[in-house]
Amino acid sequence: MIQSKNDYLYYLKEDKRALGIKGGFREFLFNDIWRFQRTLRRLEYLTNCKKNVFLRKIVAFYFRYLSKKLGFTIPINVFGSGLSIAHYGTIVVNGNSKIGKNCRIHVCVNIGSLAGEAYASPKIGDNCYIGPGAKLFGDIYIGDNTAIGANAVVNKSFPDGNVTIGGIPAKIISTKNTKGLL
């Protein structure tokens, strides 16, 4: 979680690296995902550090605009540093979820709670890859270096990590981890 200006700058640097952004003016203006992630981190900084309330409201308004435009329902203070959103499209994340650093998330992913239990939300470790269409829900824990296959439905914990899971319901399908995916 961003607690200072140094944290804010570190998160931006790690997100930029994870997305493969070179830093040119063209990407600054025309890469909508990078713009969304910059705005997400800025809003986290302004919220957590209790900075300028008026500026925070303006950034929050712009954040909601970008969220609707791109199809993302991603609350603040959920993702660690090094977030990489692969594509435009529907991504829904519960605000009580916690996702570690260096996570790559694809389109049509849903990370949610159990019905009627808002706090029973997934906790996901560091260096995780979440494939297109994956659904993760409930009070589960996914260990570090875990790859979640496309269209997997994950409703139980895989705390050991260093595996690939997939299927409906998800099970371990390989002992390969996220090396080469992030």
**In three state form, how does the secondary structure of 104-134 look?**
EECCCEEEECECCECCCCCEECCCCEECCCC
Whether a cis peptide bond, with omega within 30° of 0, leads into 159 is no
Q: What is the pLDDT of residue 26?
A: 72
Beta strand 141-142 pairing with 153-154 = unpaired
Please report which confidence band the pLDDT of residue 181 belongs to, taking 50, 70 and 90 as the band edges.
low
Q: What is the mean pLDDT of residues 78-93?
A: 93
The correct answer on CATH 2.160.10.10 for the domain covering 86-182 is yes
pTM, 2 dp: 0.90
Is a pLDDT exceeding 70 seen at residue 95?
yes
Q: Which residue has the tokens 């990078």?
A: 34
Domain ranges, ordered by start, for the chain: 1-71, 86-182
Is a pLDDT exceeding 80 seen at residue 37?
yes
The answer to whether 84 and 21 are in contact (CB under 8 A) is: no
Strand partners, 99: 79, 124
Torsion sign across C-alpha atoms 1, 100, 103, 96: negative
CA distances to 64, 104, 155, 163 from 78, rounded to whole Å, are: 16, 14, 19, 23
Beta strand 104-105 pairing with 147-148 = unpaired
CA distances to 98, 131, 168, 171 from 139, rounded to whole Å, are: 11, 20, 17, 17
Helices (H) and strands (E) in the chain, counts: 4, 14
Is a pLDDT exceeding 90 seen at residue 22?
no
The answer to whether 103 and 80 are in contact (CB under 8 A) is: yes
Q: What is the pLDDT of residue 180?
A: 67
